[in-house]
Structures are given as C-alpha cells and as structure tokens.
Amino acid sequence: MKLVATIGIILQVVQHLSAQDCLSRNYGNGGTVCVCNSDHCDTIAPIKKLEGTKYVKFTSNKAGLRFHKEEGSFTKEGSDVKNVITVGTKMFQEIIGFGGAFSDSTGINIKSLNADLQDKLIRSYFSDEGIEYSVGRVPIGGTDFSIKGYSYCDTENDTVDLELNNWKLASADTDYKIPLIKEALKLRNNEFDLLASAWIAPNWMKTKPGFLERQSFIKDEMYQVWANYLVKFLMEYNKQDISFWGITTGNEPLTAYLPNKIPSVAWTVDGQKKWIRENFGPTLKNSNFNNTKIIIVDDQILLLPIVPDQLLADKEVEMYVDGIGIHWYLEIGDFPELLDITHKNHPNVFMLATEACNGYVLNDVELGNWYGGESYADNIIKNLNHWVIGWIDWNMALDVEGGPTFIGNNVDSPIIVNATAQEFYKQPMYYAMGHFSKFIPKGSVRIESSQFSKNSDVLDIAFRRPDGGTTVIVLNKAENDISSTVRDPRKGDITMTLTANSITSIVYW
C-alpha cells in the first residue's frame, strides 16, 4: 500500500475520532437533545483555515443535525439564484464574545457528576473541541440560583460592619466558582473576559433588611461601604489569580419594584448617579482594578434608552461608564430600534447582552425543544445586528427540574444535568450558542450583510474574523426548506438549501 494512501486513511480515522457525533434522544418536545455519558459526548473539531475559494458550513436543525459539517467551493455568481444574502465590506462594532454565568447552581450541578463527566461538560463549553466560550459572568455572592440568600458580609443580628471586618468569600466560591473559572481560563489560555454582578447586599446596608424585600435601597450613609464591598470582591478574586474585565452596577434594579420576589438591590436613577459619581466610580478608579470596565443598567432592554440617557446625562457619571448591560426578559415591541437609539445617543458606550434564559414564563425545562435554541439565535442576531458586542447566557448547567433555586424560580439551561443517571443533555440552546461562539472569535468585527426580505423567517449576520476569515450565520425559522445564496462579491456564490428550522454557520477566508 502506498505510504501516502496509508497516511490518508490514518488522518481520516483521526479526524473521525476528533469529532464525535451527537447521541440523540427525543423527549417529545419538538426536537432532540444530545446525551453525554461515560461512553460518549459529541464534540466539534476546531476550525482550520481553508485556502482559495473553499468554505466550510455547519448546520444544526430541528430534525436533529448538530454542527453537521460540509465543505465546498464558491461558484461563479449566478443570475437566476434566489434569496441572495450579499456580504459587504462596511464594518460595524467589534465583538467581545459569548458565554454563560458561573452561578452557584451551575457549579452544584457540574459537581454532581463524576470527574470524567465534569471534564466532558467543562470541555463542551470552553475547549477547542467544544463551543469555545470566551466570556463569563460571575455573581458577586448569592443569586436566586443559590441554595440560600447570602452576601459576603452577613453579620449576627445584622450588626453594622462599616470596616467590612466580617467580609469573606463563601463556600460556593471556593467549591464551585473559583475552580470552574480556573478550568475555563486554562482551556482558553487566559483569553477569557469575566464580568462581575451583584444581586444581594448585606441587610445592614439596606433600607429594608431581607434579601427578598421589595424596594430596599442601599442607605445613603452606606454608599461608600457598598462601593468598598464590591472592590473587595475584585481584590479577593485577584488573590486567586482571577481578574475581571468588567463589573456592573448591579443585577436588575427594576426587579426590586416587581411583585416576583427575586433578590435585588433597588436604585433610583438619582441615587445611582450619585453613587457612581461620588463612590463607586472614584473608588474603582483609585484601586488596583482601575482598568475594570463599569457597565450600567444590567437590566431589562425596555429601560432603553431612558435609563442610560438619564444616567449618562451626568457628565461625571459618563466619564466612569464604559458599557450598558441588557437582559431580554421583558422584551416588547421593536427592541432593535431601542438599541439603535441608545447607540446613537451614546456612540462611545458599548452595549452587551448580560443575561437571558428560557423557561421563565411557563414550563421550566423543555428537553429537546428546538424553539429554545431558535429563540436564542433569533435574539443574538437581532442584538448583534444593532450594535451589541456580545451575548451572555444565564446558568450554564441546571438539574432536570431547572434548579436548584432557593426561591423556586426554576428555568431552562443549554445543559441539563441528570445526576441520578450520571449523564447530561445538551439542549438546542447549547448548539445555538455554539453557532456564534465557536465561529466568531473575540475581536471579530460585524460586517454588512443584506437580509433578503425584511419580514422574512430568514435572518443573517456576518463578521470579519481576526484571522482575516469571514463568518456568515443564517437562521431559518420557517417550517420548510428555503433555497438561498450567500454572495460575497470577492469570492462568488454559495448556493444552498436552508433546511426547515435550522441554523447555518459558514466560514471562509
């Protein structure tokens, strides 16, 4: 046998081994999950640069394809092609990336698996054979996805502790968050941006003690202590060699005005302005963490553009602020327009999607439901086509009930862990995230791409990668196949069939 042919066969075998297929399971919810167990877990090989007119295309769909890979070559521009998506050269915002949150529940669920499966799960998110997440959100203390409410400075009888003498990290940090973050950093060679957000302040700092109290504000005389508390978190994580790219002014202040009892610190716009201007801004900038970006809002998109307009109207506040964080839960009407207006009003302040999940309205976990993934892809495209620089999911792993959550706020997650069976399930949401996170590395820039019809079921978006490549992502929300052509005037045409309810990522150089 010829040596070259032998090597060819060996390479094919290696290639086959390096990307394992999905072990599909259908729970009857309109789609499938991929099961990972001791014998099996699907992977996706890292993307390799292609020469000339070659492209690579990955498809996932409701029918069960998962990162289905096909290679091809551009053809000459055709004259009778339909539904053309033209890729232009005009550049827009630079992308920071995609990721999820290191909530306590994420850690608890991962740790409920044996060591081999923990490794498979972590690699699924962060490794080159996974979906290569490059951003993570870290709760500062407890959230609703903890097994109890807590801050880092809870005192007996809520005694005031102005010097923060009682401040200490929780077991959730040392057992779950810190080890997991370290694994992620290692797998991504430290090319990983962390964002910190607080849900809960110590009772003794607040106008109404109790983690679930509605409209409980930081007392005026505690403004500086609350700023010190947050900077102390950056300091304590720094001792663990974990540094933060950004910190928000607090998770969802609006929630403190709503009837649902989710832990949250309330703010008025004027109160927060004063706190950023006189306390948080100067304290952070005078600390060792002076390059940490400050992100305001970290709350529902419907607050745009009014809340950022009001906060940033104060020029001193504006000086401290780098970005605006948005959540998708109370999305109503034409939200991309709100993004455009906010960008126009504050062109030097970035917008980042800092939290989203499914299952917060009716059902909690819907194993296999394709719509879960489709809704993620739809939202990511609409955000990133309107100036948003990245998209961060909520819990990275929940149990089969969508918990644990100490207030019973069960929701869905891209990975669901079944500790009893020692297996985990990758939901369509996992693949939807991957269609972006795997193919749009940090530092990519969005480029122009034409939607072939404004109100169509097909959405598209395109990026120039830092390695000079181009990524085009196309979402077909229709329940039927649609023929379409991606046209890059520099290369030619890719004519293809977008299968019913599918996401397609195409990369070429």
- State both tokens at 254: 């609006």
Angle in degrees, CA 367, 373, 378, rounded to 5: 155
The amino acid occupying position 260 is: N
Cα-flanking dihedrals φ and ψ of residue 13, to 5°? -65, -45
* Segment contacting ligand NAG by CB under 6 A, of 16-24, 244-252, 284-292, 328-336: 284-292
Nearer to ligand NAG, 17 or 162 (CB): 162
* Integer Cα distance of 29 and 47 in angstroms: 32
Strand boundaries in 155-254, DSSP class E: 193-198, 246-248
* Integer Cα distance of 251 and 394 in angstroms: 12
* Integer Cα distance of 266 and 369 in angstroms: 35
Nearer to ligand NAG, 296 or 339 (CB): 296
* Segment contacting ligand NAG by CB under 6 A, of 37-45, 115-123, 260-268, 413-421: 413-421
* Segment contacting ligand NAG by CB under 6 A, of 14-22, 256-264, 391-399, 417-425: 417-425
Applying the rule CB under 6 A, the residues between 138 and 197 that interact with ligand NAG are 156-157, 159
Applying the rule CB under 6 A, the residues between 359 and 398 that interact with ligand NAG are 367
Minimal distance, residue 53 CB to ligand NAG, in Å: 45
Which one from 183, 355, 366, 423 is the annotated catalytic residue? 355
Q: Is the Cβ–Cβ distance between 465 and 508 less than 8 Å?
A: no
Minimal distance, residue 423 CB to ligand NAG, in Å: 7
* Integer Cα distance of 56 and 50 in angstroms: 8
Minimal distance, residue 36 CB to ligand NAG, in Å: 12
How many residues bind ligand NAG (CB under 6 A)? The answer is 11
State the burial class of residue 420 (Cβ atoms within 10 Å of its Cβ: 0-12, 13-18, 19+): exposed
* Antiparallel, parallel or unpaired: β 323-327 and 68-73: unpaired
Among the listed residues 190, 207, 291, 450, the single contact to ligand NAG using CB under 6 A: 291
Beta bridge partners of 507: 56, 471
Say whether residue 235 binds ligand NAG (CB under 6 A): no
Minimal distance, residue 420 CB to ligand NAG, in Å: 4
* Integer Cα distance of 503 and 201 in angstroms: 41
Nearer to ligand NAG, 280 or 463 (CB): 280
Among the listed residues 400, 407, 445, 478, the single contact to ligand NAG using CB under 6 A: 400
The reply to whether 337 belongs to the active site is no
Among the listed residues 418, 445, 478, 509, the single contact to ligand NAG using CB under 6 A: 418
Nearer to ligand NAG, 89 or 159 (CB): 159
Among the listed residues 70, 421, 450, 466, the single contact to ligand NAG using CB under 6 A: 421
Q: Is the Cβ–Cβ distance between 285 and 315 less than 8 Å?
A: no
Place of tokens 């499938």: 32
Nearer to ligand NAG, 269 or 400 (CB): 400
Among the listed residues 79, 165, 348, 420, the single contact to ligand NAG using CB under 6 A: 420
Which one from 132, 252, 366, 374 is the annotated catalytic residue? 252
* Segment contacting ligand NAG by CB under 6 A, of 64-72, 210-218, 268-276, 283-291: 283-291
Q: Is the Cβ–Cβ distance between 289 and 239 less than 8 Å?
A: no
Say whether residue 290 binds ligand NAG (CB under 6 A): yes
Angle in degrees, CA 99, 105, 108, rounded to 5: 110
Minimal distance, residue 34 CB to ligand NAG, in Å: 13
Q: Is the Cβ–Cβ distance between 438 and 46 less than 8 Å?
A: no
Place of tokens 């909530």: 103
The reply to whether 448 belongs to the active site is no
Residues involved in catalysis: 252, 355
Binding site for ligand NAG (CB under 6 A): 156-157, 159, 285, 290-291, 367, 400, 418, 420-421
